């Protein structure tokens, strides 16, 4: 099961990390929530294969460390989500459907 496209209605905004909104629940290191709003990454299912980071034409993503998370020790943070051009390449290329892009959430 991929990211909940209605996370902004179904989850609580619990703060920010690296200037990016975080949507709960969060209980590190196992539960890290969804990071981002316009470009959202579900950290709890992201496997950090890096395809989104390597292929994004406007470099929305950066690596962040997530020590002891059961899926991967690092994740992609949508630190420059305001630069997103809504091409949906990251959504299409993610092998676990951990990313959702919706300009109406910007």
Q: What CATH number is attached to the domain comprising 60?
A: 3.30.70.20
Bridging pattern class, strands 39-42 and 99-101: antiparallel
In a domain, 2, yes or no: no
In a domain, 1, yes or no: no
Residue 47: what pLDDT?
Answer: 97
User: Half-sphere exposure (CA, 13 Å, Cβ side) for 34?
Assistant: 25
Omega cis (within 30) before 82:
no
pLDDT band at 1, cuts 50/70/90?
confident
pTM (predicted TM-score): 0.97
In a domain, 106, yes or no: no
Determine if residue 87 is labeled as part of a ligand binding site. yes
What digits encode the pLDDT tens for the residues 39-98?
Answer: 999 999 999 999 999 999 999 999 999 999 999 999 999 999 999 999 999 999 999 999
Residue 45: what pLDDT?
Answer: 96
Determine if residue 32 is labeled as part of a ligand binding site. no
Determine if residue 75 is labeled as part of a ligand binding site. no
Say how many domains are in the chain: 1
Range of the domain at 50: 7-100
């Amino acid at each position: 099961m991929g990211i909940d496209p209605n996370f902004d209605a179904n989850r609580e905004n619990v703060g920010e990390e690296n200037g990016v909104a975080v949507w709960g629940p969060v209980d590190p290191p196992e539960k890290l929530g969804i990071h981002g709003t316009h470009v959202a990454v579900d950290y709890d299912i992201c496997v950090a294969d890096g395809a989104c980071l390597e292929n994004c034409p406007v470099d929305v993503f950066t690596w962040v460390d997530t020590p002891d998370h059961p899926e991967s020790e690092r994740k992609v943070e949508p630190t420059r989500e305001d630069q997103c051009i809504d091409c949906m390449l990251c959504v299409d290329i993610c092998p676990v459907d951990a990313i959702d892009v919706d300009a109406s959430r910007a």
